[in-house]
Structures are given as C-alpha cells and as structure tokens.
Amino acid sequence: MSQQAPAGAGEGLPELALRRYLIRFDTRDLPLRWADVLVIGSGVAGLRAALEAAERGTVIIATKAGAEESNTRYAQGGIAAAIDASIDSWEKHAKDTIEVGGGLCGEDVVKTVCREGADDVRELIRWGAAFDRRADGELNFAQEGGHSVPRILHATGDATGLEVERVLLAKARANPRIRFLEHAFCLDLLTADGECQGALVWDHSQGLQVVVARATVLASGGAGRVYRETTNPAVATGDGLAAAFRAGAVLEDMEFIQFHPTTLYVAGAARALISEALRGEGARLLDRKGVRFMKDAHELAELAPRDVVARAIVKRMRETDDTQVYLDMTHLPAEAIRARFPGIDRLCRSYGLDLTRDKIPVRPSAHYTIGGVAVDMNGATTLPRLFAAGECSCTTLHGANRLGSNSLLEGLVFGRRAGAAASALAASTVGTVARLSIENRYDATNRTEIDIEDATSALRALMWREAAIERDGAGLARALERIRFWSSYVLPSVFAGPRGWELQNLLTVAWLVASRALVREESRGAHMRLDHPERDDRRFRVHSKVKAALEGERVLRLEAVA
C-alpha cells in the first residue's frame, strides 16, 4: 500500500482555534491520585488492558459513567473468532477482513488480530463467558455479512457485549491491584517534557483532580454521538479522541465512520441497533412496496458488507420517497426467532411491534468510529507514554470499512497488547514521572451564555445532513464553515460540567471528520463522496494522518502528517 500523502493532503486545510484546559499543574493545588498505569475507559479494551497491566503493577481505571456503561455493553452482533478448525482458519478470517477493508487494512495487523484473537476468545471462555451453544453442547457459530463461513459467537442471541463486559468487569473488580474511579470525566491528558503523565479528571464529589501515571492507556470509545442518528450510548462523545488530539498525538483515518444499516426507526424511540445477525438468520430487507431490493444491489444480498447495505438502503429510501425500509422476518419460524433474539424481541414489543408478524421499520445510523488515535502493534501512540486501544484507536485492522463482529475481537487483542506494553514501560521507569509545574491557561472569567443542549443538537443535525453516509464537497464545506463559527465562541468558553466539555469535544471531532472527508476526494469503504463516486487508488490508497500544531503555546491548528 502506498505510503505517500494523497495529493492536496496539506493544502487548504481548514483551521480551528482550540485550547487545552490545563497543560501543566502544581499538584499541590489539586487532589492527587497515583498508579503505575492509568486506563481511561471501561469497555472491552480498557478492562482487558487493565487486567494485563495489573500483572506487573497498580492500575486505576477512570471511567466517565459507571464502569458498566460503554459501547461494549450494547454490542449485539457478536465476536468473530476462527475457532472451528473444521471449516475455518485465521487465514480465512484475515482474508475476509482485508476484502471488506477497501484497500486500507494493515495486513500485519489483520494477521496478528485474527491469529491471536482466537486464543483471546478461548481465554474469555475459560474466565466464564457463556456464549451460545448448540443442543450437543458445542459452540454455536453464526454467519454475518462479509464473513465467508460461520465464525460469530453470540451470548443470549443478542447480548454479546453485555456478557463480555460482565466477565471482564467481574475479573477486574476482583483484582486487588485495580482501582476504579467512576463518574470521572477526563478533561485533558497531562503532558510534561513531551510525554503523557496521566490525566486531569473531574467528578461530582471531588471536582478537579490529577491522576498521575507512568503510562496511560486511552480506551475511551468512539464518537457516534456527533451524529443525530446513532446507535451509540450517551457517553460516546469522542472525549478521548479530542483530548489526544489536543495533547499532540497523531490521529488517523477520521473520515471513516461506519453506519449500521438497520436501526429501529420509530418516532420517539432511541435508535436501537437491530443486529445484522437477523439477516444472517434469513431476514430480508423490503421497501415500502414489499420489494426485496438487496438482491439487485450485491451478490450477497442482505449479507453484503455493511457499507454496501447502508448505501443501498439510503438509495431505496430516496427512490421510494420514504424515511425507512423494512426488515421482514415473517417467513421465519416464530418461536425460533423469539428464542434467538430475546432482547430485540422485547425492544420491538415495547413499541407495539412483533418480530414474527410485523415488518420492522429500519434505517442506517452512525455506529462505529473506524479512525482514531494512530497506534503501533503494541498500542503505542505518537505521544510517548500514551497508549490507545479499542474504538478510540486506529490500528488499521478495519481499513476503510469494518468487518462486522471484529471490534470486540480487536478490543481483546489490542487491550491485552497495550496493557502489557504500558505496564512494561511503567516497570522500567526509574523514579517518578516528570514534576508537574503550575500554569492555568484559562481565564475563569471567560464565560459565554451558551445553550449547550441547543448547540449540541444543531451540531449533530448538521453532521447528519452534510457528513453522514453520502457526502459531497459543497456540503462538507458548509459543515466546516458552521463548525468554525460555533467553535469561535464555544471552544474558548469555560464550562462547569460534562455537558459543556462534551460539546467542545464533539465540535473538535466533527471538525476532524468533516475536514478529512473534504480532503479525500474519492469513495472508499464507509466514505462515500457523491461528487467523487469512484475509488482512486493512485491518489488515495493511503492512510489519512493529522496532528495538532501548537501556535504560541495557546492555539492549535490542523496539520497533515505524511
């Protein structure tokens, strides 16, 4: 794969003034916590990293809400692993991953995750994960879009993430070397002497406090809440992505956002994910006239890769002048469907819908942040002493389009690898980290009256309209102009709580997504440009990397990285 920067990558990049909250501190002025390794986030990647790091030292897990609240908890689709040697192999899994990834998968990363991931899943089973089994007691593997053989494990049909979270969280809580700091919002990463030294966090009971660590693992999840329509929980506001960017770490492939094709579309309902495992069991997609349209869109029909299905749905909604399409399971055995997907069955029934009798209204929603903080094979970022794993990172496993059910697997593999590398670095560090000195960059009187909820809603609607499944240059330019204007008064403002800080982070992430989408003048994987509908390998078969350039130690701007 070409390693050259795409044409125009450093030309005409939009700029946006950002500020860090507190770059340096006098630790005498704030409550201080200490650990060998700080893990930010309590999803699959964060918990697995903490468990691995605790083998060698002390760990603090700082999490924005309760420890059980993360994107992992809501993952229905399953976890892919090449365990059944009679039909599968890690080589087959790697081949499927690369084929879906649109030419941008890091092949060494793919091979490593597919090879090591099977053992990591076996370990999870040894720890007590109860994945679904057949009547004969053997693991029950399902097949989903993009996978050539059945290799997807589920728990209780549609509660896989919840089961993974349960097992890892119980093991972490039982480990005496791991402490939890719950309901602790990470405002910024601490840096001194060009290295990450921990984080500045805030909670309701103690306010601002400093967590100092010899190594930090960022596992804060994605940024789906930057869009109006999303499957992500309220915590997914890109806080870790924005903090890493402000601290100077390189971010990669931020234009690639995966949209899940089928989320429940009922007035007043949260955009709950309707797992593609239903399509794996034989569910069909129909338009308002009852026409099954996916057979004409792709040879795999409903089992086509997610980006193909999502775009086909948007196209059919436009052609039929409708706001949704319909998922039809009425031809499948009713009791088997209810037993296989009890959570989805309960969800639909709460809105007066019966999976076995009614056609379920669905449409795409933002689901997974493919890009993120650039990392190496051990989860190390470009900022010394900072590691990243899970959805906030970009390992290049997914390329331009994630193969379904690979995200939990990636979290296990890279969580373990990042935790091991972070703890090894911490153990090799002599003495304490660099002394932190005082410097408060914010004028506490700089307060602007801002309706946070209104501004957040406006941003999410803008991103859904101009930078979602289908994009074009004019729309992205309009989005960037609006984001710059809102940011001119929101980013310099001082807020007293998480909702304001989330708005600042969402603006930062939106700017990164839209600016990189504007530069990538092609269509590839999850990135669809209506004004550049063809894939352009000559110019754009390359990863998109950016970092923040500090100007006058106060203002940050976007800078392309070759």
- Which tens digits make up the pLDDT trace of 295-325? 999 988 998 888 889 999 999 999 999 999 9
Q: How many angstroms separate the CA atoms of 152 and 440, rounded?
A: 50
Map residue 35 onto helix, strand or coil: strand
Q: How many angstroms separate the CA atoms of 297 and 274, rounded?
A: 20
Count CB neighbours of 448 within 10 A.
10
Residue with tokens 């999870």: 124
* Section 66-90 average pLDDT: 83
Q: How many angstroms separate the CA atoms of 40 and 201, rounded?
A: 10
Q: What is the model's pLDDT at position 443?
A: 42
List the structure tokens of 206: 């103690």
Instruction: Using pLDDT thresholds of 50, 70 and 90, give the confidence band for residue 431.
Output: low
Phi, psi angle pair for 327, to nearest 5°: -95, 120
27-257+367-428 has which fold? FAD/NAD(P)-binding domain (3.50.50)
Residue ranges of the chain that CATH labels 3.90.700.10: 259-366
Residue ranges of the chain that CATH labels 3.50.50.60: 27-257+367-428
Q: What is the model's pLDDT at position 515?
A: 93
Answer for the pair 291, 549: CB distance below 8 angstroms, yes or no: no
Phi, psi angle pair for 194, to nearest 5°: 75, 15
Residue ranges of the chain that CATH labels 1.20.58.100: 452-561
Instruction: Using pLDDT thresholds of 50, 70 and 90, give the confidence band for residue 67.
Output: confident
Look at the alpha carbons of 368, 370, 373, 377 in this order and tell me if their dihedral is positive or negative: positive
| Average pLDDT over the chain, rounded to an integer | 88
Q: What is the model's pLDDT at position 448?
A: 62
The order of strands in the sheet holding 545-551 is: 393-394, 372-374, 251-252, 545-551, 555-561
Q: What is the model's pLDDT at position 1?
A: 47
List Cα–Cα distances, 32 to 22, 202, 208, 389, in angstroms: 15, 12, 10, 25
Q: What is the model's pLDDT at position 303?
A: 84
Catalytic residue among 19, 20, 228, 306: 306
306 is catalytic: yes
Instruction: Using pLDDT thresholds of 50, 70 and 90, give the confidence band for residue 433.
Output: low
List the structure tokens of 455: 């501004």
Q: Which residues contact 12 (CB under 8 A, 6 or more apart)?
A: none
Q: How many angstroms separate the CA atoms of 39 and 392, rounded?
A: 13
pLDDT digits 0-9 by tens, 518-535 = 999 999 999 999 999 999
Q: How many angstroms separate the CA atoms of 297 and 308, rounded?
A: 8
Q: How many angstroms separate the CA atoms of 467 and 475, rounded?
A: 7
How is domain 452-561 classified at the architecture level of CATH?
Answer: Up-down Bundle (1.20)
pLDDT digits 0-9 by tens, 197-212 = 999 899 888 888 889 9
Phi, psi angle pair for 79, to nearest 5°: -130, 125
Of 141, 96, 85, 94, residue with least CA distance to 114: 94
Phi, psi angle pair for 287, to nearest 5°: -90, -175
Residue with tokens 């899943």: 121
Q: How many angstroms separate the CA atoms of 191 and 383, rounded?
A: 9
Instruction: Using pLDDT thresholds of 50, 70 and 90, give the confidence band for residue 560.
Output: low
The hierarchical CATH code for the domain 259-366 is: 3.90.700.10
Strands 372-374, 251-252: pairing is antiparallel
SS3 labels along 131-154: CCECCCCCECCECCCCCCCCCEEC
Phi, psi angle pair for 177, to nearest 5°: -85, -5
pTM, whole model, 2 decimals? 0.90
List Cα–Cα distances, 462 to 115, 466, 490, in angstroms: 41, 6, 16
Q: What is the model's pLDDT at position 281?
A: 86
Q: What is the model's pLDDT at position 76?
A: 62
pLDDT at 74 over 60: yes
Q: What is the model's pLDDT at position 191?
A: 85
Q: How many angstroms separate the CA atoms of 244 and 348, rounded?
A: 39
